[in-house]
Structure 1
């Protein structure tokens, strides 16, 4: 099993966008950080969510998966997107959307603000 070399969260996000979608983007800032506890075969992690900006329509029309980790990609309204996501990911995405609309970047634990 190969492992990615250690890199910053921002560099890792850019690398994954390139590997999985063939996108080269400049990230526009941090939207949230979510502490995800160990679950299933995965160790705990910190999930960093960045603003990837806006793609021009011609780039959107050509977007397709570039590796085995994705079977398809599409564009949805924020509400449609939230309905399609599993609960923990939905909470994380909702915080990211709040940040896009003027809220400060959030720290989450399992998709929720800590108590």
Structure 2
């Protein structure tokens, strides 16, 4: 999923066969995807550019006990805004919607 139609066009033209499906979309509105649709959601270098609300949607579309993995720029994590990504992670942990794992966990 990407906000950019040009990026989706590139993927379908030059990277066909890598992904089962690709679509233009916004991580803050995944309403076209049913709850608990995915065993895992992976993101490399993208999630930190999206608003924190995107995590709510990603959690919704991930199956219970599913895995959400992403890379993150530490500067963006600590960014001084109304709610930082760090604050969002703490909130999700307190709500038991999230378990932060860094590195390789011994047991999930």
Same fold (TM over 0.5): no
TM-score (norm 1): 0.28
TM-score under structure 2 length normalisation = 0.29
